[in-house]
Structure formats: C-alpha cells, structure tokens
Chains A and B, each alone.
Chain A
Amino acid sequence: MKNEKIINEMVQKLLSGDRRMAARLITLVEDEAEENHEAMKQIYPHTGKAAIVGITGSAGSGKSCLIDHLIRKFRQQGKTIGVVAVDPSSPFSGGAFLGDRIRLQSHSSDDGVYIRSMASRGYLGGLTRSTHDVIRIIEAMGRDIVIVETLGAGQDEIDVIHIAQTCVVVTTPGMGDEIQALKAGLMEIADIIVLNKADLDGANTCIKNLQASLSITSFEEGEWVPQVIPTVAVASKPEDIRGIDELVSGILEHQKYLHISNALERVKFERVEQELGLIFKDELQKIIFKGLKGTGKKKKYIKSILEGKNDPYSVVEEILGSYLITDGERRNG
C-alpha cells in the first residue's frame, strides 16, 4: 500500500494537469487498487467544476465521429477537453476491444485534449463507480468539458443521466432506430436528440416522428424542451458535413439553461447520490465476502440454495442480520 504522502505527490501532479499522472490514477481506480480510496479522497475536493456532456446511442450510430467534431469546435473556443469512451467488456474473456480512438486520433497530439478508452469490466452497459471516479480525475486535471461516450441500447444506459449534465442521445434513420430509442426510454433522458447520418434515406420521416413524439409530451413552464438536431458527421465532401454548429450551440444553450434555472444543482445532487449508492454497494459486498472468505460458509450457503433448503433472499437476510442491527431492533431495545 502506497502511503498518503506518495499519493499526495501524485495528486499534486494531477492537479497541475499532468496527463501521465491522470492516466496512472485512472488505472488505479479501474483496477480497484488498494490506493484508490486514498487517491479519490484527495482528488474529490478538486472536482465538480467541469461541464459534463454525455453522448449515448446505439452501436455504430456515429457517436465517436460526432465527438471528433465537438472536440474541434470546443478547442476553437479555447476550451480544454477530456473524453471518456466506455465500451463493453467481453462477458466471456473479460477482455475488450476499444475502438473509439480510431475516430479521435487527430486530437492525440493536442495537449488540450485528454482521451481515455474504458472497458465496462463486467458491469452491464451502465456506468460504474469507476466511470464516476475517472470523470472526477479528469475534472481534477482542470478540464473545462468532459465528454462521456456510452453505448446506449436501453434502460441500462440510462445511468448516464446521473453523471452527464447535458445528455445527447444519438439515433440514425432506418430500421426504426428512433422508435426503438423511444421505447427504451432513451428519449426521456435526452436533452438533445441527434439524428445522425441524416444523409441516409428516411431521415425526414425520422425527424418528423421524433418531433411528433416531443409535441405530445407536456413540459412544465420554464422546463427544457429537448432539441432535435439532424447531423451528418461523415461525408466524402467536407461541405456535406452538417449540423455540427447546431449541436455545439444546443449543448451550450442547455448548459446555460442549467445554470439559470438552478437545474444544475439537481443534476449534481443526483450524481453524488448515485455515486454514494454505488460505493456503498461495492464496499458492503466486499466487506461481507471478505468476512465469509476462508470460512467455507459461502459454499455452504450456495449448496443449501441448490438443494432447495434455502433461497438467496433468506441467505442475504441471515448474513446481513449478523452484521447489522436493523432499525427495528435498535428502536426496541
């Protein structure tokens, strides 16, 4: 275990913007190394200032290509950028193929852009505790904007809303993608709905469907109404690229709305709430399993469940009962 002083030196370097140190600290939290608690404790007070933009949508919808454009525009405005691109780990091998950088490599020589590819490491699609920590680390580096790319196929990915202040959902024409997205509830979390690949057939119908579904949704006075923005992120002729400026202004408008409406406080509250929940869950499980380790009890419990003598709920109640005093017991006595 590295001592507090060494970690403090690492954190100081991080705060000065050292990307090598950011990279190393991110690995620490991803690997759940012993030092990660101490590191995060020291990093946390230096976070919470960046604008966090989530880009989510189905595989291949063009999220990374759009991020490539966003980075370029935000850099022209003098803003520094961090990107976290999350891809699923293989459930079989635990390995991952992280390919988002292919579209982002033109920024890899820019000091103002830090990009990190991240595997979901066994958590289904949604955002994990490590994702939270990684974003905090990038914030502590002093980045103005952190962009988070996640694969959004359904409910699981809705977690992104708890981290991102501005949530961009990317969909594409054809195959009823936009209908799927509506069904999956993705539209409800969207602050901005992007119809990318607007060069493809069916784009106009899609836009109409999306706008129609918005028009029957009721919004309260002063509430943000999601924007629908058609884009073309990749084209053989550069002049055919479309919608990027609109997307940039959409994001900035939404950020402005968050600030003036005080909605930002709510978003920040939800972020910490989710963070706290995830850390609790992880730590509690770790403590319990550590306690069972070497006692042979875990195996016995599993066997008793398999033999029909017990069930997982009773087992969990029994184990937790031996660790925790329930509220009722405390009150009674």
Chain B
Amino acid sequence: MNNFQYKKEITVTTALEAVNSNENAAFIAGGTNIIDLWKYNITNPELLVDINGIDELRTIQELEDGGVRLGALVKNAATAYHPVIEKKYPLLSKAILAGASAQIRNMATDGGNLLQRTRCYYFYDPDVPCNKRVPGSGCPALNGRNRMHAILGNSEHCIAVFPSDMCVALAALEAVVNVMGPNGSRSIPFAEFHRLPGDMPHLDNTLQQDEMITSIDLPSNHLYKHYTYLKLRDRHSYAFALVSVAAAFEMDGNEIKKARIALGGVAHKPWRNTEAEEFLKGKTATADNFLIAAENVLFGAQGRGENDFKIPLARRAIVRACMMALNPETQRPGAGPSL
C-alpha cells in the first residue's frame, strides 16, 4: 500500500489535465474497486483525481430519440431505482440489483462499473505471476485453480472473466459508451468497449489511458416487456456470477420478433452471439428453440478443468432465462430468479 496525492476536480477538462499530468495517476469515482485494489497492493497510484464534483456527469437524461443517457457518476443504486430506467430498461435495473450489496451500489458509479477489474484469485495475489497484472509473467489459472474462469474467448495468456453484472445488461441493450480525451470525444459501441485477452490481457477494454467515460447511452427499444437477468452463484446473494444471463425479447404473440442474449461470468467481456439471436428471429418461443440458440451461443466453449461445469450450466441457464423472460410473473418487483 503506497501513499498517494489527492486532487479534486470539478470539470471534465481539468480532471483530464490532472490525470494526464502523471502516468501513475487515476480517476477515483465510487472508489469501491480502486481502493480495494490499492489496499491489496495490486494498483499503486501516485495521484488520485476525484471526479465526484463534476456535476454534469451526475444526471440521468431522456434523449429526444427515446433513449436515455446515464451520466458516468450516477450511482448504481440511483440508476437501478430511477423511474425512467425501471420503466424503459427494467433489465438494467434487475442486473444492477443482482450485483454487489446495497451499500456498494450506493457508492459505485455507472462509469466505474464498466472499468472494474477481474476477480481472478491470481490477479489479486501480488506474490504470484499474472499476465494481466504483470505482462509476460504467466497465467497460473490455465492449469491451476480455475473454477471461476472463462470458457469462451480465451487465449493461452489469460482466462480471467470480467465480473460486472450491469455490463451484461448493457451488452444486451446495445449501449454506447461516450468518452472524452485530450483530442475530443468519441462514442464506443458496447460490443467494442471490453476486449478479449489475446496476447494483451493487461488491457481490459479499449478506453485509452488519457480518456474519461462521460456517459453511457441506452438506445430506444421495446425490450421492457419480456426480459430477465438470471444470476447463478455460490450463494444466493452478494457473490459474483459463475454464469449469468441477460435475456430480452420483443414478441408478437408466441413469435419472437427480436432476441437479445448476453452472458456474464464466462468470458473476458460480456458475451454475445448475434447469430444465435438471428436464429431466434421469427421462431416460436419454445424450450427446444432456446436450446438450439444456447448451443449456438456456446459454440467453441472450452473448459480448463475446474470450470468445465460452466458449459452445461450456461447451456441450461440460457434456456431457463429465455423461458423466464416470457413469463411476466418472474418480472414482478422483487421476484426471485426461479420459475
């Protein structure tokens, strides 16, 4: 645990200048991830730039096209319980509320949630190698304890999973991440925000070192009637997902007009397979069709031993989540993840 300098900035421009003045500087928003990592000696910032005073990033705004913009500093709890989100994007509310604890959701910000690091045990132990923490040092999880690790999109350099629940819903909703850097702003489609490990597992996402997330846009859609977020974990609450599924449909009677399926806990990023979604289009909503879609989503899945169980678990979880999404009873407030 190192000592660090602290600076509070109240505009995006000055916060970017501050963080770009020192290559070991970092933003701090809710602090729930960076303080934890600092205490474990996994991250050693020389300067923390507190962005909580940037008021323009603290609002939820309805957009003219029917979409919604989440400011990067809006708290996870405030997002989940916001009346507009509950109405237009209940899948997002449900996914957020499946994550962490009430106290942490009161602290964590929407921008920070996208940037949380993996919970891989080797990443969290500074005394062992880890390609994500120390590039080139190796990956003990490949042939070690890998019960929580990835089954999709792996490389021989890293099998860590990205742990966010909120981001699984954002992937299914095709959110867009708005960022600001020294050279202006750009918008990143959600599917391109997080990345697969490849030979650079130290990079979790495509945000540049000198950029800040300013907001997340949710495009207008009709996925608020038939949806669910199913999270499977070692205990009923307050644990990270082993496998999670965000499923949402637009239906015409029993016919699927549009399908979205995203998985958490299985890869280095929220996992989507648009082919499986295309397959379901125009099909009748039956367990058999969902099983074909599930096989499609899991195409190429590979276990590394302890995590082999995740493949059948994910297959069944997809089918069950899709069935749940059709059933309004599972969507009443407070409904548990069961049928």
A and B: bona fide binding partners: no
